Structure 1
Amino acid sequence: MDGSSGFATTSGPVVDTRESYTVSAWVRPDTLGGNDRAVLAQDGGFGLSYETAQGTWTLRPALPVGTDHRTVVAEQPATPKVWTHLTAVYDAPADEARLYVNGRLQATGPTTGTGAADGPLQFGRALSDGSPTEYTDYFDGSIDEVAVWQRALTDTEIAGEARMTLDGARTAVELVADWSAEGATGATLTDTSSGYDARLTLSGGATLDGETLVLDGVDGTATADGPLVDGTGSFTVNTEVTLEGAAVSTWDVGRVGQVVSQRAADGSTWGLWYEATGMETVLDPDTFEEKLIPVGLWRFGRMNADGTYVAVASEEAARTDEPVRLTGVYDAQEGTIELYIGEVRNGAALSVANAPGRGDFTVGAARDGDTLVHHLPARIADIRVWAGAMASSQQLSEVIGD
């Protein structure tokens, strides 16, 4: 929808607003701010919208004529250019309205009875206050997977809708970025397959050699305008990385090299990274002499602004000088993260608090304020990001293919 005149509408009312109901939708606003943006609204009844005064998603339930609006306001700010799942519930027996974002309850409000709304359901616009014919608040962006029930869904059912489970081993996911370095040269790596046209711009000692994105570990990075995903929603990130053993062999214990990262609103950074944990003496099979090799672990999780982190670690030491397939999965409905090496999940799922993602997506480094830190010496063949949490190693195998 274009934010000025585009909309869709049903031929008549979809729910009886005097009884319990639930409406849900996936939304991806192109812009926010400046104007209110209606997602779903039944003429004369409820409205599910973005409101500029609140800076986030809101629900106005249908109320009897002459009753002042009671607005239910989400706790977290709305994020443009990412997919977010919204659910609005009116619970008639409880006289309560509830608003959910990404399958998690954000706010509730009393309704003290509702009025009848006999108009059609509007997609991407709403009636102006006090007008039976004038529409406003046109949505700028995409609306998908709209669903309506004439009952109040439970918290478990709403979490399931946000997860979009297909079966026990698969969930619906949306590819939002796909970069392959094969055949690529120059200073920009373009996403040509997801349809979202995200572009990685190289800087410092980062180059494309026609096969991989080469990062020098000093100042080489690649950055895409972000965020790519809503940090409070489920997502999956996948990459093939070859860590440069000679470079990390001199690292002190505890030093970190970031593979991919997305800055969150609270100063933390979501991402995959390598952490040096020590050195190990091994026998060189060619010379039959002992030699020291670096030892470290792959991690997926949140790096906090103070340097602490919550992350899942690989079960074995990270291999160097050979390609490794890494996948990080965040399940927003469960509040857990998982790390896969190849198609094998490493460790148990770890609980972690969510954080709205507002920053750029960075490869080969992470941001500390305006400064890039944790540069990684490595070669990266490809990077893919999905909205939605892949459910199993079986799904990873089917979707990623290697």
Structure 2
Amino acid sequence: LRGSTTARPGHGPALDGSSGFATTSGPVVDTRESYTVSAWVRPDTLGGNDRAVLAQDGGFGLSYETAQGTWTLRPALPVGTDHRTVVAEQPATPKVWTHLTAVYDAPADEARLYVNGRLQATGPTTGTGAADGPLQFGRALSDGSPTEYTDYFDGSIDEVAVWQRALTDTEIAGEARMTLDGARTAVELVADWSAEGATGATLTDTSSGYDARLTLSGGATLDGETLVLDGVDGTATADGPLVDGTGSFTVNTEVTLEGAAVSTWDVGRVGQVVSQRAADGSTWGLWYEATGMETVLDPDTFEEKLIPVGLWRFGRMNADGTYVAVASEEAARTDEPVRLTGVYDAQEGTIELYIGEVRNGAALSVANAPGRGDFTVGAARDGDTLVHHLPARIADIRVWAGAMASSQQLSEVIGD
């Protein structure tokens, strides 16, 4: 590590975008043969300047290119050959963890670029050049210069891996998932808010190391134990996104739904627990939906009465009001704490909902959309308007990059 570089415990080295970098003492791969390189990256800023992630001097470069607005791969080519750039389909997102993989397949004469374990782009590479320089982390040689470096990365680079072969699609998906064993995957806590002891108009994350803040507005208050949402205009918002919408994530919260407030809701009315807006106008998140009324016997009066019935859902609410979501198997309980967990597995393209530590229903296939909006508690955004306000009390909220793999992992990580 050299230049302005600091170590973030558990987060990888932080590079300052102007002089910080790391380098090996010599070449890492023979660029004339098949190879694969991968890394987790979290850019603090994007735009304005290109940002190199990994580059072998005289050879390939894996970078963010401002002109493209996304991740790119330039494979090593013979001297005198014009650069061929492989460009990812989805735009890059700052301040979130993203897994990148670059592959050169020599027998196929092909370069491939993967984002979060999914193939994004391919390009022909008829013949490649030899690159005998060291591997650079967070910078690249300037075009045409043997000594001057540029495109310094601003952010964190972690879990770099190199193979002298072309990994398969399945292997790359496994690298992005970071499976530890059959019941666990590696996850990174990126937000952790607890309302215990909190007052005022801001709830600060002091646990994850990313320092995200929830700012309260409208009829939202902190009572020292919970974030209280009035269901009218109360909400809390953190600058987002917190996670890459094209990558896996897990969101968890303890929520107490106000039964008296939802008892008057019409069937089909929705109250958003947490949400992150996507680029296409849809919203990812957890929500409550009123589904009807049920006749029960009042234990005090022994008379029949109507009570509201609704379900918890996790998934994607589309801009037109339709949705793709997993639903709770039983009616949502009101006036008592319930722990909800939503899991999106980008490599499998599936979503799961847990009530407590019990998965409800089967994993549901869903198309992803890049999430680039703010993270909102107690409501969702419809353009610039907040809608779907929820009457509830929320004790805590946690968000991880990565999909937890099982009830066992949820129990171990969440602990209640």
TM-score by length of 1: 1.00
* 1:348-387 equivalence runs, <5 A: 348-387=362-401
C-alpha separation between the residues in 2 aligned to 1:113 and 1:96? 9
Q: How far does residue 324 in structure 1 lie from its aligned partner after superposition? A: 0.2
Q: Give the structure 1 partner of residue 10 of structure 2.
A: none
Q: Deviations over 1:250-273 (max 9, x none)?
A: 000000000000000010000000
Q: Give the structure 1 partner of residue 278 of structure 2.
A: 264
Q: How far does residue 183 in structure 1 lie from its aligned partner after superposition? A: 0.3
C-alpha separation between the residues in 2 aligned to 1:233 and 1:81? 13
Gap runs ≥5 in structure 2:
1-14
Q: How far does residue 80 in structure 1 lie from its aligned partner after superposition? A: 0.2
* 1:290-369 equivalence runs, <5 A: 290-369=304-383
Q: Deviations over 1:320-367 (max 9, x none)?
A: 000000000000000000000000000000000011110000000000
Q: Deviations over 1:136-155 (max 9, x none)?
A: 00000000000000000000
C-alpha separation between the residues in 2 aligned to 1:242 and 1:292? 20
1:355 aligned counterpart, secondary structure: coil
Q: Give the structure 1 partner of residue 289 of structure 2.
A: 275
C-alpha separation between the residues in 2 aligned to 1:76 and 1:130? 29
Q: Deviations over 1:8-61 (max 9, x none)?
A: 000000000000000000000000000000000000000000000000000000
Q: Deviations over 1:62-100 (max 9, x none)?
A: 000000000000000000000000000000000000000
Q: How far does residue 380 in structure 1 lie from its aligned partner after superposition? A: 0.2
Q: Deviations over 1:135-188 (max 9, x none)?
A: 000000000000000000000000000000000000000000000000000000
Pick aligned residue for 1:194 from 176, 187, 208: 208
Q: How far does residue 289 in structure 1 lie from its aligned partner after superposition? A: 1.2
- Aligned pair 1:217/2:228, yes or no? no
C-alpha separation between the residues in 2 aligned to 1:92 and 1:225? 43
- Aligned pair 1:250/2:264, yes or no? yes
Q: Give the structure 2 partner of residue 78 of structure 1.
A: 92
C-alpha separation between the residues in 2 aligned to 1:38 and 1:108? 19
C-alpha separation between the residues in 1 aligned to 2:307 and 2:64? 54
What percent identity do the matched residue pairs reach?
100
Q: How far does residue 291 in structure 1 lie from its aligned partner after superposition? A: 1.1
Q: How far does residue 287 in structure 1 lie from its aligned partner after superposition? A: 1.4
C-alpha separation between the residues in 1 aligned to 2:303 and 2:415? 39
Q: CA RMSD in A?
A: 0.3
Q: How far does residue 130 in structure 1 lie from its aligned partner after superposition? A: 0.2
C-alpha separation between the residues in 2 aligned to 1:366 and 1:294? 22
C-alpha separation between the residues in 1 aligned to 2:160 and 2:95? 18
Q: How far does residue 284 in structure 1 lie from its aligned partner after superposition? A: 0.8
1:247 aligned counterpart, secondary structure: helix
Gap runs ≥5 in structure 1:
none
TM-score by length of 2: 0.97
C-alpha separation between the residues in 1 aligned to 2:254 and 2:262? 18
C-alpha separation between the residues in 2 aligned to 1:311 and 1:113? 47
C-alpha separation between the residues in 2 aligned to 1:232 and 1:297? 26
C-alpha separation between the residues in 2 aligned to 1:151 and 1:113? 16
Q: How far does residue 106 in structure 1 lie from its aligned partner after superposition? A: 0.2
C-alpha separation between the residues in 1 aligned to 2:282 and 2:246? 13
C-alpha separation between the residues in 1 aligned to 2:353 and 2:369? 18
C-alpha separation between the residues in 2 aligned to 1:197 and 1:352? 31
C-alpha separation between the residues in 1 aligned to 2:27 and 2:279? 39
